[in-house]
Amino acid sequence: MTSNDQLVSQAFSLQSAVFDKLNNENKLTAHLRAIYREEVMKQAKEQSRFLELNCGTGIDTLFFANQGFRLLSTDIAAGMLNELDRKIREHHLEDVINTRQCSFNELNNLGNQQFDYIISNFGGLNCTGKLDQVLDQLKTFLTEKGKATLVIMPVVSPWELIMALKGDFKTAFRRFKKDATAHIEGVHFSLRYYNPSYIKRHLKSDFDVLTLKGIYFAVPPEFYQGFIERYPRLYKFLQKVERRLSNYFPFNIFCDHYLITIQKKS
């Protein structure tokens, strides 16, 4: 485990106790989760086995388990997995969900297992400076014609650039640094932003791209907390705009997050 991995593990373990509360209080997170879940449900075959990266406290994990899928859910943060394990026991899902503390930088520790679908939500993969090495591991763990849906943060976020008009230049231009810094629960760690072209370039020989759509280019991202409560009609309008245009350039590149679904070539 790298030193940055250790910091990420520490930060999210500390946040695990309040993670669900933060998620529930911020209605903008539901916007992304709905798009992510809809895509996975559309692409996954019945009774598929999932490998979930950066599963957190298992908010998405439990949703997919209740849809009839089996999961191996991994996270680097022990605190997050402790919360998920508690939920698994509470909902009697021990036969459906297995958990493993594992960095996506070290998927080789999972052995020779194979999965029908690999999933990762909310930009967890931005917490590595070696995404190319993570991507190189995907084909090993996917069955023939297996798929992966990844939600990643790109370099240009229009809503963050708008912050420059408010004088917040740090937020507005933070993504343009090669190695940016995030801080959670007082712990600082490095992260990096990756455009869709990066993913396509590293996977073109082994994968086909099935879906590429932008998220939070019309709807404000999570840090605009309270937006839906203050402007419910505007939110509904922006939500319609985003759903209509999310698959098209430049909206699937210039956004706060993007969703990409890939399929392993025969």
For 42-95, what is each residue's pLDDT tens digit? 999 999 999 999 999 999 999 999 999 999 999 999 999 999 999 999 999 999
Confidence of residue 2 (pLDDT cuts 50, 70, 90): confident
* pLDDT at position 192 over 90: yes
> For the residues 238-259, what does the mean pLDDT come to?
98
pLDDT value, residue 239:
97
CA angle 28, 58, 76 (to 5 degrees): 105
Residues 98-120 pLDDT 10s: 999 999 999 999 999 999 999 99
- Topology (CATH) of 3-264: Rossmann fold (3.40.50)
What are the domain boundaries of the chain? 3-264
**DSSP code at position 62:** H
Q: Tell me the average pLDDT across 122-146.
A: 97
Phi, psi of 30 (to 5 degrees): -65, -30
Percent above pLDDT 90 for the chain: 98
pTM for the model stands at 0.97
